[in-house]
Amino acid sequence: MTRNLSLLAGVVLVGLVVGTALVSFVWTPHDPLLVDASVRLLGPTGDFVFGTDKLGRDVASQLMVGARTTLYVGVVAVGIAALVGTPLGILAGMGARWLGELIMRVNDLVLAFPALLLAIMLGAVYGASTLTAMIAIGVATVPSFARIARAGTLQVMSTEYVLAARAGGRSRWWIALRHVLPNISGLVLVQSSVSFAIAVLAEAALSFLGFGTAPPTPSWGRMLQESQELLAVDPRLALVPGAAIALAVLGFNLLGDGLRDRFDPRLEVRR
Amino acid sequence: MNSGAERLPGGRWLGDGWAPAILRRIVILLVSVFVASIVVFAFMAVLPGDPAQVALGVNATPELVERTRAEFGLDRPLITQYLDWMGGVLTGDFGTSYVTREAIGPQLVDRLGVTLWLVGAGMLVALLIAMPLGTIAAVRHRRPSGTAVSALSQVGVAIPAFLAGIILVQIFAVRLGWLPSGGWTPPVRDPVEWLRGLILPALSLGLVQGAVLTRYVRTAVLDVQREDYLRTARSKGLRPYPALVRHGLRNAAVPVLTVLGLQLATLLVGAVVIERVFVLPGLGSMLLDAVAARDLLTVQGIVLVLVVAVLFVNFCVDVLYTMLDPRLRRS
Amino acid sequence: MLGRMRARWLAVAVAGALVLSGCSAGSTATVGGDDTLAVGFTAEPKNFDFTTTDGAAIPQALLYNVYEGLVKLDANAEIAPLLAESWTISPDRTVYDFHLRSGVTFSNGAPFTADDVKFSIDRVRTEWTISLKSTMDVVDHVEVVSPTHARVVLKEPSNSWLFAMTTRLGAMFDPSGVGDLANRPVGTGPYEVTDRRRGDSVVLSANPDYWGRQPAYPTVVLKYYSDATALNNALLSNGIDVISGVTAPDSVPQFEADTRFNVLQGTTNGEVVLAFNNRRAPLDDVRVRRALTLAIDREALLAAAWGGRGTLIGSMVPPTDPWYEDLSHSYPHDPERARRLLSEAGQQDLHLRLRIANLPYAMSAAQVVASDLGRIGVDVTIEPLDFPAVWLQQVFTDHDYDLSIVQHVEPRDITTFGDPGYYWGYDSPRVRELLRRADTGSPRQQVADMREVARTLSEDAAADWLFLFPNIVVAKKEVTGLVRNQVSESFDLTGLGRG
């Protein structure tokens, strides 16, 4: 019961973020980048729902376009992680024992370079940008996908129908595509949702440290960082993007939880 | 190919039993540290810009740059530079910074001390939150109070630690004036001031991690509750909490400990941001300053220390896991 | 020494704890709490060697406090005696005779004599590497006439030389004290560096053998914060006594409203400049530069980016310089004219890279500039670069930029426009000639010529001087003697008192 509730809440929150981002492509209340000193630091009014920032830009419009940045970073980072990590995990689960061992050892090594550290290092080499942040978060997330995929693969490989298929002379490729991939896709989807939440947090922290999205592209993390000095004067400016980050993370986490309950039993049944 | 469930991470070479398993872990740790050091070194070697030029500023004559390059040994082949660096690191000598002209090793130790206090205190806060809340959430998981705790932990996970830090400073330091807004007093200099300075950073770091940990504790306790012996104990009339304390928590500790280890790594990196918010002279702020100043040798040293620390923590978790988990011990 | 230091520190820390905990019970004695002043800064010195390390942070902490020169710049921007009691200048203005104060010693115990003057001035040419050193090229040689009489002979008259002697370039060193300048500074000043915690603070303690008046605060802790917010919070939560310079201007009203604090707002030497790469097309075209200058509403920019705190100057001259003239109305905001000028210059779909220092003022100003230029159809990409390391390399040295924003903090740095190799890429024989004449001519000629330089630069739109950085000092009411205008390179602690 509560599980369905968390799935529902997750879908609603994530839908809200995605919807906002999509709408921002065609419509925002104001130009999010338009600076206007005459309306700086306004409180919420009819014209500016969330007020304006210190440069007189509309906070609501920035928030909408910022959702795009958040999703963009999340999609690319999780995409990198899933596309690299999942095949590696399957390979580790199906391949020769030494290969599996090697992949998992390298995996542990990558795990020792957390996203933040990688992003700072990448930023030092290539200059900090959204791109370096996405790549760093993506690379650092590869191990979680590899682990999940390997665990799932090992489970599938021990099922009777796979043993039967192997006895029937089916190739490894066929088994991987026909049995392993469909069976672990649920796990990967769950992991994607959870990783997405982590990526959103990581991007916010990086932007806060100045290693994320460069101005003027709106980003929730940088909005938070830019408004930090105004916290005593006008807490709204920090709390609005802060709440957006928290809601997005909450949404992806709840979605992950909900999906987990839907997919886990299926794995049991098919086995 | 045998069934996958029996295949454990770490493979089977070096034979069975947990002593060889630990030996195997040590070998893996050493190899990982070696590879990591190469990765870190290579990463810094591809960085554009001449460290000597960066250190000397833009008006240095080419001769002076050359002289400095020779002085820092930057004119030698990369392999030699790497071996020299690693040789030094093994004896605790991380070289002399191009920018601060000071030995890096003692600085690292100094800064690591600050970070470890922060991480330790953050971990303590996280445990103090997660242990009771996680247990409550599990024992009452079908009742509103348990659901409320679970929901609360979900919200806690979603809040960036640095945002928590900024808000805590605003309330407790700026508005109420109860605690310092930042800065660091070494414990030997003034234990009271040290503790006061540690409270807010530890809370910011610990609250969020505590929320994460609460969810794991809940799952672990739930799993234990389903075990037969606990059901038996409860059917014999033991109330839920005493039964849990007497029989369950030790078993629940194994998965929690594993997560704790992984969390330690997260905390170590999370400390980077928290140190920034609270102006603590730890490894994180040292890293950010060194990156900003393109003080490569220092960056290299810090990254190596952080990476090795994470590897070491993971190693410890693996070892503890091997020793505590009865299934592993049996094999 | 170390024992004494530790004891003193313990006292400081205990006192600090008592002050901070305020209402906490069981407080016993207050030991020396009033003797310590904590001043907060945002830029930490990387090391203590300003002879080879560029940047404002080191002289800010050390000049006049730890190091002294023959002369200093006082609060009114006048050249005043320091280690030289008096000096005479020959009629042809090439020979300077300095009569030195006697009984002055360095913090390592060595006496200060004319030999040290020769040593220090000669050393600029041989060992210094920072960009300012070229100002001392005009020195021909230094003679030691007697232990208290040093004579400096210039190759040609130079009005800027004596001024330069008030900056870090004039700092006096002891030959036995330069072994480890990066870590152990040895000067004749009222303070010596007694402790340093990297990433946290530098502790200055009064030099008991100082030749002059002992400073009001025996111990000054210079505390360094990573950002303006942390610095503000430190003062608000009683962690420090003085903010050396507020860099979060929108937070100033909260200090002004608070009866615990005094707020002083004055000027600095820091011109926030939107640099045009004069050498590179299309910015080598004066019409394009003028168009960009016309397109930017500097008054609105100052209001948006810096809370309206700062001064519009329209040239590279702060109001504290003798040849200041208000040129801020040379290019009134006029997007229409800007657009016309651009089309006259044949520039459509202009795309420019704005590569800035990753500092708050530049980040804010850049977003306003990008927005303003967007309105006349110029597309601007903002690239924040780590300051100083990356900015110095890529923009300053390699000239790889179209537009840049950085604050130029050196005093009288208008002369950089006379250097065609400088990153402005500005080359005007007329400006070079004017600058040369100003430096070698009479003081009156200097003022006239410097005015002309500023006007010419404005005419050529050699850069867009967005605004002059304000000097906003916030201090607890008890701290007195703070200076409104920041004219020297030093955060001068010697004038401070206790109210």
Q: What is the dihedral of CA C409, C410, C412, C416, to 10 degrees?
A: -100
> Tell me, what's the pLDDT at C129?
84
The answer to whether C129 contacts B64, with C-beta atoms less than 8 Å apart, is yes
Distance CA B179, CA A162 (A): 62
* Facing B303 at nearest CB: one of A121, A154, A157: A121
Distance CA A228, CA C405 (A): 22
Query: Which DSSP state fits C74?
Result: -
The answer to whether C367 contacts A230, with C-beta atoms less than 8 Å apart, is no
Residue in chain B nearest A255 by alpha carbon: B154
Listed in sequence order, the residues at least 6 apart from B213 whose beta carbon sits closer than 8 Å to its beta carbon are B126, B127, B129, B130, B134, B256, B259, B260, B263
Q: What b/e sequence results for B276-287 when a residue is b if at least 16 CB atoms lie within 10 Å of its CB, and e otherwise?
A: bbbbbbbbbbbb
As given in the structure block, the two tokens for residue B225 are 């509750």
Q: Is the dihedral of CA C357, C362, C367, C371 positive or negative?
A: negative
Residue in chain A nearest C296 by alpha carbon: A35
Closest CA to C316 of C387, C418, C388, C385: C418
> Tell me, what's the pLDDT at B5?
37
* Facing A109 at nearest CB: one of B32, B147, B291: B32
As given in the structure block, the two tokens for residue B29 are 């740790």
The answer to whether C10 contacts B189, with C-beta atoms less than 8 Å apart, is yes
Listed in sequence order, the residues at least 6 apart from C31 whose beta carbon sits closer than 8 Å to its beta carbon are C11, C14, C15
The answer to whether B180 contacts C239, with C-beta atoms less than 8 Å apart, is yes
* A239 within 8 A of B164, measured Cβ to Cβ: no
Listed in sequence order, the residues at least 6 apart from C459 whose beta carbon sits closer than 8 Å to its beta carbon are C330
- Top pLDDT among A27 and B231 is at A27
pLDDT tens sequence for chain B (331 residues): 333 333 344 444 445 566 777 888 899 899 999 999 999 898 877 766 667 766 666 556 677 778 878 877 788 888 888 998 999 999 889 988 888 888 999 999 999 999 999 999 999 999 999 988 988 888 887 788 888 888 888 888 899 999 999 999 999 998 898 999 988 888 888 899 999 999 999 999 999 889 988 888 888 888 777 766 666 666 666 666 666 665 566 666 777 777 777 788 788 888 989 999 999 999 999 999 888 888 888 998 999 999 998 888 888 888 877 776 655 444 3
**Chains touching chain C, criterion 3+ CB pairs below 8 Å:** A, B
* Facing B192 at nearest CB: one of C17, C197, C396: C17
For residue C157, say if its preceding peptide bond is cis, omega within 30 degrees of 0. Answer: no
Distance CA A218, CA A220 (A): 7
Q: How far is CA A210 from each of CA A127, A204, B56, C357, rounded to the nearest angstrom? A: 11, 10, 25, 12
Listed in sequence order, the residues at least 6 apart from C29 whose beta carbon sits closer than 8 Å to its beta carbon are none
Domain formed by A51-270, architecture: Orthogonal Bundle (1.10)
* A112 within 8 A of B307, measured Cβ to Cβ: yes
Element of type H or E holding B17: none
Closest CA to B183 of B58, B116, B281, B114: B281
Q: How many residues does chain C have?
A: 499
Q: SS3 sequence, A3-49?
A: HHHHHHHHHHHHHHHHHHHHHHHHCCCCCCCCCCHHHCCCCCCCCCC
Q: Which of residues 237-266 of A touch B (CB under 8 A)?
A: 238, 242, 245-250, 253-254
DSSP letters for C385-449:
E-TTHHHIIIIIIT---SEEEEEE-STTGGGGGG-TTSTT----HHHHHHHHHHHHS-HHHHHHH
Residue in chain A nearest C384 by alpha carbon: A214
pLDDT tens sequence for chain C (499 residues): 344 444 444 444 434 433 333 333 322 222 335 789 999 998 899 899 999 888 889 999 999 999 999 999 988 889 999 999 999 999 999 999 999 999 999 999 999 999 999 999 999 999 998 878 888 999 999 999 999 999 999 999 999 999 999 999 999 999 999 999 999 999 999 999 999 988 899 999 999 999 999 999 999 999 999 888 899 999 999 899 999 999 889 889 989 999 999 999 999 999 999 999 999 989 999 999 999 999 999 999 999 999 999 999 999 999 999 999 999 999 999 999 999 999 999 998 899 999 999 888 999 999 999 999 999 999 999 999 988 778 888 898 889 999 999 999 888 999 999 999 899 999 999 999 999 999 999 989 999 999 999 999 999 999 999 999 999 999 999 999 998 998 899 999 999 998 7
Element of type H or E holding C251: none
Distance CA C423, CA C425 (A): 5
Closest CA to B296 of B68, B40, B87, B75: B40
pLDDT tens-digit readout, A167-178 = 888 888 888 888
Q: Where are the extended beta strands (E) located within C226-357?
A: 242-243, 261-276, 351-357
Q: How many CB atoms lie within 10 A of CB A136?
A: 28
Closest CA to A166 of A94, A229, A225: A94
**Chains touching chain B, criterion 3+ CB pairs below 8 Å:** A, C
The answer to whether B43 contacts A232, with C-beta atoms less than 8 Å apart, is no
**HSE (side-chain half, CA atoms, 13 Å) at B95:** 22
Contacting residues of C for A233, CB less than 8 Å apart: 250-251, 253-254
| Helix, strand and coil in chain B, % to nearest 5 | 75, 0, 25
pLDDT tens-digit readout, A180-231 = 888 899 889 999 999 999 999 999 999 888 888 888 889 999 999 888 888 8
DSSP letters for C155-210:
SS--HHHHHHTTSGGG----GGG-TTTTT----SSSEEEEEEETTTEEEEEE-TT-
> Tell me, what's the pLDDT at A72?
94
Q: What is the ipTM of this complex?
A: 0.86
Residue in chain B nearest C386 by alpha carbon: B292
B320: which strand partners? none
The answer to whether A208 contacts B306, with C-beta atoms less than 8 Å apart, is no
Residue in chain C nearest A208 by alpha carbon: C227
Residue ranges of domains in chain A: 51-270
> Phi-psi bin for C321: left (phi > 0), alpha (psi -120 to 50), beta?
beta
